[in-house]
Structure 1
Amino acid sequence: MPTPNRDNGYQIADPSGIDFTADLWNAIFADIHARLLAREGLEASFEALEAQGVQASLDYIQATVAPQLEDLQSGVQQAQAQIDQIVIDGISPDAAKLGGKLPDSYASAQALSNGLAGRVPTSRTLNGKPLSTDVTLGKADIGLGRVDNTRDADKPVSADQRQRLGVPIGAEIFWSGSAIPYGYLEENRAELLRANYPELWAHAQASGMLDPGGADVGMFSPGNGSTTFRLPDARGEILRGWDHGRGVDAGRALGSSQGDAMRRLTDSFTTYYAQESAPSGELFVGSGGNEKGPAMAGTGYQVAGLSFDNARITPTAAENRPRNIARMVLIKAYF
């Protein structure tokens, strides 16, 4: 008698010498055979799904089918042990239960297919990308194709944008410190290389404040005439608004410097004063107060030459100036 095995479904033709019937034998091993086929079908379905890369299906299998596979594996192992007992020891197993589980408790290929019903089919695509494998989405896939991921600090900015977003080249500011901030230079008549400050040099040429001769310190100078230029010099100066056609300070060029001046005061007179009184304020008699002329006969008055010195009543200095506060004048030179 051939030894029962998996290939012949554990079927026997002659049960002689065995203490159970052929029907029982065949029923037991037909059931085992069916279970093994179901397991193979389940494993084949699992491998096919894994190859297709449907993540949702794999998640379902991991959560639902894997525990059933473990139970099935345990049942098959117990059934194999029982088969060994039948063949070797002649012991009849419990035909109703194999591995402690009822036959309908094992997942089949159909059960797996039913469980996957309603999941996303692999025929679908996302922006033309099939869902049969892992999908990598780019910016364009979610409507962000024109978004620039470059850091703001690294994004290029055009000259026009810089002018619109910040202080323009050539702008002057008063600065309340001695440390010069980034992008600025002090207006101190420094000589600069045109190649190092091309935007400021372009502004100097277009500003109307470039003195060809370089003599006016309130304006830009062409430097050596080829590779350098000089800044205006605002140190110690009081800035004045350009007249620009108003007529208050007519004839001035933008940026031109202007020396100090005051309104002219003129007068001439001869005076007589009593010997008992003397001029006061900014007027005095002579340089020492003693330049008195002869007394006028019969009047008690003397002729005197008067001098003028406003230092006698007002603060004076070597210049005419209003009250002021010192600040550093800076010019926007680069970005």
Structure 2
Amino acid sequence: MRYREFVLSPYGVIKIKSLGYNGDLDALKTGLISALSKNVSNTVPAASTTVAGITKLSSATNSNDETMAATPKAVKAANDNANGRVPSGRTVNGKALSADITLGAGDVGAYSKQEIDTALNSKVAGVKQTGPFDATAGALLINGAWGWGGSGYNQVWTAETFLTWARNAANGSRVFRNDTPTPYSKRYGSGVFMRAGDTWSLISVGAIAGGPDVNGVRISSGNNSGSETQSYELWTNQNLPNPISASEFAGIPLPFPGAVAPPGFLTCNGQAFNKTTYPILAELYPSGHLPDLRGEFIRGADDGRGVDAGRALLSAQGDAMQPITAKWTMNDMTADKFVNYPPAGALYIDRTALVNFDATSTRTNTGARAVFDSSRQTRTANETRPRNIAFNYIVRAA
């Protein structure tokens, strides 16, 4: 049996072409699909903005192609992007957000520079200082006034001239330098003079090397009436005639009222020290041990005087006291059977046990013993000591 092949025409009409058929429906279906495909490819154009036809799908969101169609994924991405943007109808102070905008002071409710300058000048024009020493209340300080913000000014004042000026309430606070040394200021040193109420003060700092009149820091103060005037010197290594360094201080025992030596010091308790770390102590105490001054008194070395001869430096000495002597005149033939001169002071009679006077005495066991006891006259202890106050001895470690 013979059948015909179905073919789709551009006009939708089906033409039947003679085709052999052997009873296989799948083969017939395949042939029909093939015919349709060929006909579409040959007769349906590609789609464009002006021609309808077949188009390709795309998920791109950054393409300018006009021959492809957007997928739902591309449409969703574009919609999400649009939702995150500021609506085109929004403005800032009437300026659309379609492009970059420039905001002025007026756009945010602020004054412009010109408006601020005009307002400020109108406020202060009448109260500026007329000169560097204008003391008008409320006046705006100009640069260099009273020596502030400028180079200050120089004076050549004696002590009397300075005090007269300082006690004048009309002279306000300022910065100056006095080229003459006085008990109140350093020569050639910058000074800050301050006045508050009826009192004044001056801090003067020396500027060059030399003696105490040109170096260091001097602080003076007083009142307008002149009933109070003081001057203080801050001593530093710059104005001390012969300043003592920490190393020169090392090794000298110092009484200290604390239980623990402060940083940089060691307690004189016989302890060993590192001779490498503390070379000055090593020179003074070659043994590498500090003297144990706990419970000890320090005594000046004899050094040839002859009072305590024969002792070496750092040698220890035990306690001692000078001899105490006493005399007691006795006579066993006196009428009262006791002594002619009764004992006094550290001497006393012990009658707890009677003794013979001597071998030829006619009295038996009627003699009395004399006892010497210094505690009857002085304060005694198991050592000889003067009055004292306990301190810890410490030395500077260097």
* Shared fold, TM over 0.5: no
TM-score range, shorter chain: 0.3 to 0.5
Higher strand proportion:
2
Larger radius of gyration: 2
Q: TM-score scaled by structure 2?
A: 0.33
Higher helix proportion:
1
Q: TM-score scaled by structure 1?
A: 0.39
